[in-house]
Chains A and B, each alone.
Chain A
Amino acid sequence: MKHVLCGALVLLFLSGCSNEIANNSGKARQTPVGTSPSSAGTSTDPTTGLPLPVASSTDTTPIATNAPPVVIAAGEPGPTALRRLTNDEYRNSVKDLLSLPAAPTDPLLPDSLQLGYENFASVHTVPPVLASQYATMATRLAQEANITALAQCSTPAADSDCATTFINDFGKRVQRRPLTSSETMGYRAVYDLARTTGTYEEGVRLVLETMLQSPFFLYRTEYGDAGAKRTLSPYEVASELSYFLLGSTPDAELLRAADSNSLGTATEIEAQARRLLALPSAQASVRKFLAQWFGTTGVTSLKKDMIAFPTFDSAKNAMLGSANMLLDTVVWQGEGTLRGLLLAPYTFANTALAPIYGIPDPGQGDVLVKVTVNPAERAGILTTPALLSVVAHPSDSGPIARGKYIRTRMFCQALPPPPPNVVITVPAADPTLTTRERFARHTSDPACAGCHSLIDPVGFGLENYDAIGAFRTSENDHPVDSQGALSGTDVDGPFSGGTELANKLAASATMRQCAVLNAARWAFGRSEIETDRLVATTLEKQLGSTGMDVRELLVALAKTDSFRERTLQP
Chain B
Amino acid sequence: MSKALIKRRSFIASLGAAGFLATPVFRASLAEAQAAPVRLIIVYFPNGSGTQDNFTFGKLLSPLAPFSSDITLIDGMPDLLLGFGLGHGGPQTMLTGNGGGNVEDRVPPAGIVSVDQLIAQSIGNRTRFASLQFGINTDQISPGADFERGRIVYSNGLLVPPVYDPQTMFTLLFAGGAPSPAPTTSADVAKLQALAARRQSVLDTLKAQVVSLQGIVGSLEKQRLDEHLTGLRELEKGIMASSGAAQPGGVAITPGTSCGAPALGNAGDDPAVGAAMNERLYQAVNCDLTRIATQQWYNDGQQVVFTWTGVNKGQHGLAHEGGPDFDKVQTWLMSQVAVLVKRLKETPEGGGSMLDNTLMLVMSDMGNGSAHQCDFIPAFIAGKAGGAFRTGRTYQANGSTRNNLLLSVARGMGVSLPYISDPRFTSPFDFS
Q: Which residues of A contact B (CB under 8 A)?
A: 1-7, 9-11, 14, 26-29, 34, 37-38, 40, 45, 47-53, 61-69, 80-82, 107, 109-110, 112-116, 122-133, 135-136, 138-140, 143-144, 182-183, 186-187, 189-190, 193-194, 197-198, 206, 209-210, 213-216, 219, 221, 223, 295, 297-299, 301-308, 390-391, 393-395, 401, 405, 408-409, 414, 417-418, 422-426, 428, 527, 568-570
Are B143 and A109 closer than 8 Å at their CB atoms? Answer: no
User: Quick one: given A66-B157, A299-B143, are A127 and B399 in contact (CB under 8 Å)?
Assistant: no
| B303 CB–A CB distance under 8 Å | yes
Q: CB distance B209 to A135 under 8 Å?
A: no
Q: Which residues of B contact A113 (CB under 8 A)?
A: 141, 147-148
A107 vs chain B, min Cβ distance (A): 5
Given contacts A11-B84, A131-B231, 18 further A-B pairs with CB under 8 A are A6-B89, A7-B83, A9-B81, A29-B102, A63-B83, A107-B165, A125-B159, A129-B231, A130-B231, A186-B205, A189-B205, A198-B194, A206-B202, A221-B213, A301-B143, A304-B305, A424-B371, A424-B372
Query: How far apart sit A98 and B305, CA to CA, in the bound complex (Å)?
Result: 42
The proximity string for B residues 138-179 relative to A, scoring 1 for CB distances below 8 Å and 0 otherwise, is 011101101110000001011111010101100110000000
**Residue ID in chain B nearest A22 by CB atoms:** B104
Cβ contact of B234, chosen from A132, A190, A209, A395, cutoff 8 A:
A132
Q: A7-B83, A51-B424, A305-B305 are in contact. Are A132 and B172 (CB under 8 A)?
A: yes
**B248, CB-defined interface residue at 8 Å:** no
In the complex, the answer to whether B216 meets A223 with C-beta atoms within 8 Å is yes
Instruction: Give Cα distance in the complex from A193 to B205, angstroms.
Output: 12
Are A183 and B228 in touch, CB under 8 angstroms? Answer: no
Tell whether, in the assembled complex, residue A66 and residue B103 are in contact, meaning their CB atoms are under 8 Å apart: no
Q: Which residue of A lies closest to B238 (CB)?
A: A132
Docked pose: A116 CA to B110 CA in angstroms: 23
Contact B21 A53 (CB under 8 A): no
Question: Closest CB of chain B to A51's CB: distance in Å?
Answer: 5
- Complex: chain B residue closest to A187, CB-CB: B205
CA gap between A189 and B227 in the complex, in Å = 25
Q: Are B148 and A114 in contact (CB under 8 A)?
A: yes
8 A Cβ contacts from B361-394 to A:
366-367, 370-376
Given contacts A48-B399, A140-B19, contact A219 B205 (CB under 8 A): no
- B32 interface residue per 8 A CB criterion: no
Q: A9-B81, A48-B400, A131-B235 are in contact. Are A112 and B148 (CB under 8 A)?
A: yes
Sampled A-B contacts (10; CB under 8 Å): A7-B84, A50-B400, A53-B422, A127-B160, A128-B230, A139-B20, A193-B197, A395-B312, A417-B85, A527-B105
Other-chain contact of B148, A123, A190, A295, A305 (Cβ < 8 Å): A123
Listed stretches B249-257, B271-279, B280-288, B313-321; interface member: B313-321
CB distance from A243 to the nearest CB of B (A): 18
Residues of B within 8 A of A295 (CB): 143-144
Determine the distance from Cα of A62 to Cα of B100 in the docked complex, in whole angstroms.
Answer: 8
Contact (Cβ within 8 A) A122 B107? yes
Find out whether the CB atom of B110 lies under 8 angstroms from the CB atom of A64.
yes
In the bound complex, CA of A65 to CA of B84 (Å): 13
User: Is A214 in contact with B209, judged by CB distance below 8 angstroms?
Assistant: yes
Q: Which residues of A contact B18 (CB under 8 A)?
A: 136, 139-140
Please name the 9 residue pairs, one residue from A and one from B, whose CB atoms are nearest each other, closest first: A298-B143, A139-B19, A63-B100, A131-B231, A48-B399, A6-B87, A394-B314, A135-B20, A128-B231
Picked from B80, B144, B314, the residue with its CB within 8 Å of the CB of A405 is B144
Interface of B (DSSP majority class): loop
Is the CB–CB distance between A66 and B110 below 8 Å?
A: yes
- Contact indicator B374/A302 (Cβ below 8 Å): no
User: Could you say which of A1, A37, A213, A426 has the most chain B C-beta atoms within 10 Å of its C-beta?
Assistant: A37
With both chains docked as a complex, state the minimum distance between the C-beta of B186 and any C-beta of chain A, in angstroms. 15
The complex places the Cα of A49 from the Cα of B105 at a distance, in Å, of 33
In the complex with contacts A64-B109, A127-B161, A193-B201, A28-B103 CB distance below 8 A: yes
Q: Are B314 and A110 in contact (CB under 8 A)?
A: no
Is B423 among interface residues, defined by CB-CB distance under 8 A?
yes
Known: A65-B109, A305-B305, A414-B104. A570 touches B85 (CB 8 A): no
Nearest-Cβ distance from residue B315 to partner chain A, whole angstroms = 8
Question: Closest Cβ of chain B: how far from A570's Cβ, in Å?
Answer: 5
From B64-72, B218-226, B334-342, B350-358, the one touching the partner chain is B218-226
B148 contacts A131, C-beta separation under 8 Å: no
Residue of B nearest to A405 (CB): B144
A1 touches B144 (CB 8 A): no
Q: Is B180 an interface residue (CB 8 A)?
A: no
A71 to chain B, nearest CB (A): 14
In the assembled complex, the CB of B403 is this many whole angstroms from the nearest CB of chain A, namely: 10
Q: Is B78 an interface residue (CB 8 A)?
A: yes
Determine the distance from Cα of A41 to Cα of B313 in the docked complex, in whole angstroms. 43
Least CB distance, B82 to chain A, in whole angstroms? 4
B289 to chain A, nearest CB (A): 13
State A125–B155 Cα separation when bound (angstroms): 11
Per the 8 Å Cβ criterion, residues 191-222 of B in contact with A are: 194, 197-198, 201-202, 204-206, 208-210, 212-213, 216-221
Q: Is the CB of A306 within 8 A of B321?
A: no
State whether the Cβ of B116 lies closer than 8 Å to any Cβ in chain A: no
Q: B108 an interface residue at 8 Å Cβ cutoff?
A: yes
Q: Shortest CB–CB separation between residue A468 and chain B, in angstroms?
A: 13
Query: A416: shortest Cβ distance to chain B, in Å?
Result: 9
CA distance A510 to B19 in the complex (A): 52
Q: CA A27 – CA B209 in complex, angstroms?
A: 36
Q: Decide: A80 and B399 in contact? CB cutoff 8 A.
A: no
B423 near A38 with CB under 8 A, answer: yes
Q: Is residue B90 within 8 Å, beta carbon to beta carbon, of the partner chain? A: yes
B314 with A393: CB separation less than 8 A:
yes
CB pair A126–B305 under 8 Å, yes or no, is: no
The CA of A560 and the CA of B317, in the complex, are separated in Å by 45
Determine whether B261 belongs to the interface, using a CB cutoff of 8 Å to chain A: no
B375 touches A3 (CB 8 A): yes
> Which among A10, A67, A395 is the interface contact of B317 at CB below 8 angstroms?
A395
Contact present for A193 and B143 (CB under 8 Å): no
B101 at the interface (CB under 8 A from A): yes
Contacts A114-B148, A127-B161; A210 near B202 (Cβ below 8 A): yes
Best-buried of B20, B129, B312, B317 by chain A (most CB within 10 Å): B20
Q: Does B421 contact A (CB under 8 A)?
A: yes
B281 to A: closest C-beta gap in Å: 14
